[in-house]
Amino acid sequence: MQYWDPRIEDLPKEAIQRMQYKLLKNLVCRLYSFSSFYHDRMKEQHVHPDDIRELSDVQKLPFMFKRDLRDNYPNKIFTASEEELVRYHVSSGTTGKPTVVGYTQNDINTWSTSIARGLTSIGLGRGDVIQVSYGYGLFTGGLGMHYGAERIGATVLPTSVGNTERQIELMQDLGVTAIACTPSYLLHIGEVAEKMGVDIKKDTKLRAGILGAEPWTDKMRNRIENWLGIKAYDIYGTSELSGPMFTDCSEQTGAHIWADIALMEIVDPKTGESLEPGEKGELTITMLQKEALPMVRYRIGDISIIDDEVCACGRAHPRIKRIQGRVDDMLIIRGINVFPSQIEHTLMSIPQVGRHFQIVVERKGALDDMLVRVELTKESFSDKISDLMQIRQSVEHRLRNALNVAVDVELVEPGSLPRFEGKSKKVIDKRSL
């Protein structure tokens, strides 16, 4: 087993929890003394640093939400001076003001360390060539991965997004062994490669994908792995935490949340009540070492489950299961909660279905209607109406069983749905337009 930071990665659970308590206590004392934002919030909640006597006392602290960043635009709640900042990233908000994140040099170092541990745990290191095809710029994906990959001594190919044919040529010419991008961009790269007559399995040295920034499923992982002949690892993060931060290890059973960097909790999204490991709820994170923009009990809005069993890789740092949706983009169709990930999971287990789909939600009269446009594989796309009818019925049936709600399915030609270089947009919700 390969470790970047054996001293930390190999700690047993009890030592991890002791370390987290110390870090939490320091953070709370620092914020209470030096930040009027956190001081006032804690006072409102009638909690004082003296009340933090054990790790579970984190539950006494007030939550933070994305609106706290928006309301304090651009930097009112930063806890480092402008001279101490070495970088900004900005995430485009879906409504109103964007979110600005500032970083001190230590923040950048912690971020790169987090990625370095993940990349090492999947067997990457010196001699690897890592193509970073996340966007460079205000988005955290490109530069975040870049610094993490350089940290482990790998050679970085900073292609960013776009110009896909060139990306494929460079992948071949420079012997790229790993690519970091969104899963949807990797699908696009795979298809463009096929059109160019390049077989990624045979004609490149690619053996790993570090894929994230958008929801994807284990079924999609299987398809990508079989199709491209690589191992596909999940990477999770959000700009408010820094950016891409936590990856699967070689076991591929969930991203390890490095416990000296982040304290992850799961809460009930409706009541805010703390949930146990194994229970599904909203990820809530406290960044234990962040200097410029510490987040305390930040309600990320992503739905997942914490697995705190020691991993088969030997590490006791907790893992999160795949993100199953967002608190806020969970679709409610005729009163039933539907996550796009459930739809992907079902579609990807149907062999005639290709890798791309689109969900369109509309309100017809008082009722919500959901249409799922599904690309067929080249092999199953046929001129015979009766064949297509049969596939459509079977896909509708499978979706209805999985989601408990009726779904219309439209089968479309392979290659006809939009492709994406960054995060894909799989849901068109016309109800909110």
CA neighbor of 144 nearest in space, from 120, 123, 113, 182: 113
Please choose, out of 232-240, 344-352, 373-381, 403-411, the segment that lies near ligand DLL by the rule CB under 6 A: 232-240
Residue with tokens 């067997």: 123
Phi, psi angles (nearest 5°) of residue 220: -65, -40
Answer yes or no whether residue 134 interacts with ligand DLL by CB under 6 A.
Answer: yes
93, 240 in Cβ contact below 8 A? no
Integer Cα distance of 408 and 390 in angstroms? 14
Which one, 28 or 149, has the nearer CB to ligand DLL? 149
For 35, 64, 293, the CA distances from 396, given in Å and listed in that order, are: 54, 40, 46
Binding-site member from 11, 115, 187, 213 for ligand DLL (CB under 6 A): 213
Binding-site member from 68, 191, 234, 421 for ligand DLL (CB under 6 A): 234
Integer Cα distance of 242 and 140 in angstroms? 7
Min separation Cβ 86 and ligand DLL, Å:
19
Answer yes or no whether residue 323 interacts with ligand DLL by CB under 6 A.
Answer: yes
Binding-site member from 102, 237, 269, 281 for ligand DLL (CB under 6 A): 237
Q: Which of residues 352-411 bind ligand DLL (CB under 6 A)?
A: none
Please report which residue ranges of 270-375 form alpha helices under DSSP H: 340-348
Answer yes or no whether residue 102 interacts with ligand DLL by CB under 6 A.
Answer: no
CA neighbor of 400 nearest in space, from 346, 364, 357, 326: 346
Answer yes or no whether residue 135 interacts with ligand DLL by CB under 6 A.
Answer: no
Min separation Cβ 18 and ligand DLL, Å:
29
Residue 217 CB neighbour total at 10 angstroms:
22
Which one, 190 or 237, has the nearer CB to ligand DLL? 237
Answer yes or no whether residue 160 interacts with ligand DLL by CB under 6 A.
Answer: no
Min separation Cβ 93 and ligand DLL, Å:
10
Q: How far is CA 376 from the centre of its chain?
A: 27
336-338 and 280-287 beta bridge pairing: unpaired
Please choose, out of 230-238, 271-279, 354-362, 411-419, the segment that lies near ligand DLL by the rule CB under 6 A: 230-238
Integer Cα distance of 153 and 336 in angstroms? 48
Measure the N-to-C terminal CA separation of the chain; round to a whole number of Å.
Answer: 50
Answer yes or no whether residue 140 interacts with ligand DLL by CB under 6 A.
Answer: yes
Binding mask 60-99 for ligand DLL (x = CB under 6 A): -------------------------------x--------
Min separation Cβ 244 and ligand DLL, Å:
4
- Which residues does residue 319 pair with via DSSP β-bridges, in sequence order? 256, 307
Give how many residues touch ligand DLL by CB under 6 A. 20
Phi, psi angles (nearest 5°) of residue 249: -95, -170
- Contact residues: ligand DLL, CB under 6 A: 91, 134, 140-141, 212-215, 234-239, 243-244, 300, 302, 323, 326
